[in-house]
Amino acid sequence: MMAAMKFLISLFLLSSLAWAYEAPQATFLDQKLQTSQNLSLEERLVLFSSYFLDAPYVGGPFGEGEEGKYDQDPLYRFDVFDCTTLVETSMALAYASDFSDFESTINEIRYIDGQVSFVTRKHITSLDWIPNNQEFLEDVTWLVGEDSSDNVKVATAVIKKKAWYQKMGLDRLQLLPLDNETEEEFLERKEKLLPELRAEGSFFEDEVAEVPYLTISSVLKNPALLDNIPQAAVINIVRPNWNLTPYIGTNLNISHQGLAIWKEGKLYFRNASASKTYMKVVDIELIDYLRSYQNSSTVKGINILRLK
The pTM score is: 0.91
pLDDT at residue number 18: 36
Q: How many CB atoms lie within 10 A of CB 142?
A: 16
pLDDT at residue number 53: 96
Domains identified in the chain, total number: 1
Cα–Cα distance, 215 to 238 (Å, whole number): 9
pLDDT at residue number 24: 54
pLDDT at residue number 17: 38
pLDDT at residue number 14: 37
C-alpha distance across the termini of the chain, in Å: 54
Output the DSSP codes for 17-81. Answer: GGGGGS-HHHHHHHHHHHHTTTS-HHHHHHHHHHTTTTPBB-SS---S-TT-SSB-S-S--SS-B
pLDDT in tens, the chain (308 residues): 444 433 333 333 333 333 344 455 677 788 889 899 999 999 999 999 999 999 999 999 999 999 999 999 999 999 999 999 999 999 999 999 999 999 999 999 999 999 999 999 999 999 999 999 999 999 999 999 999 999 999 999 999 999 999 999 999 999 999 999 999 999 999 999 999 999 999 999 999 999 999 999 999 999 999 999 999 999 999 999 999 999 999 999 999 999 999 999 999 999 999 999 999 999 999 999 999 999 999 999 999 999 99
Task: Give the CATH number for residue 198.
Answer: 2.30.260.10
For residues 148 and 213, the answer to whether their CB atoms sit within 8 Å is no
Instruction: List the Cα angle 272/278/283 in 5-degree steps.
Output: 55
Q: Residue 130: exposed, middle, or buried by beta-carbon count in 10 A (0-12, 13-18, 19+)?
A: buried
pLDDT at residue number 116: 98
For residues 111 and 132, the answer to whether their CB atoms sit within 8 Å is no
Residue 58 phi, psi (nearest 5): -140, 130
The whole domain housing 155 covers: 2-307
pLDDT at residue number 179: 93
Beta strands in the chain (DSSP E): 137-139, 152-159, 207-215, 234-242, 252-263, 266-272, 281-285, 301-307
pLDDT at residue number 28: 79
pLDDT at residue number 27: 77
For residues 70 and 173, the answer to whether their CB atoms sit within 8 Å is yes
For residues 269 and 83, the answer to whether their CB atoms sit within 8 Å is no
